[in-house]
Amino acid sequence: MKDGSPAKPSKTQVQTPVVEECNVEDCGTAVTDRRPHPGMVRVTGSRDGAAAHWYCPVRCAGIARARADLRAVPTRPATRKGGRCA
């Protein structure tokens, strides 16, 4: 709007949460010796020691892989002797 206030959503615009809860049974459970349900996807944890989990295919498995990838990104700059950044 011209006055800086947010525009009102149209009646045809769908209001959905940013993160929707998954309703698939056992989605996100830690990996054990057995697969909880046919079609579940094993997503390995990140190199920082996070455990592998079972996820439903596509959406949840994709989100889990992306989170593992993000955990692998270094968050601090490399340092050299003396504690100063290179």
Domain-located, residue 9: no
Mean pLDDT across the chain: 77
pLDDT tens digits, 28-45: 999 987 888 889 999 988
Q: Which of 66, 47, 68 is nearest to 58 (CA)?
A: 66
Handedness of CA 47, 26, 31, 37 (dihedral sign): negative
Domain-located, residue 3: no
Domain-located, residue 81: no
Reduced to 3 states, what is the DSSP secondary structure of residue 24?
coil
Which residue range forms the structural domain that includes residue 59? 29-71
pLDDT tens digits, 42-52: 998 877 777 89
pTM: 0.59
Could you give the number of structural domains in the chain?
1
Vertex 61, ends 55 and 64: CA angle to 5°?
Answer: 100
Domain-located, residue 55: yes
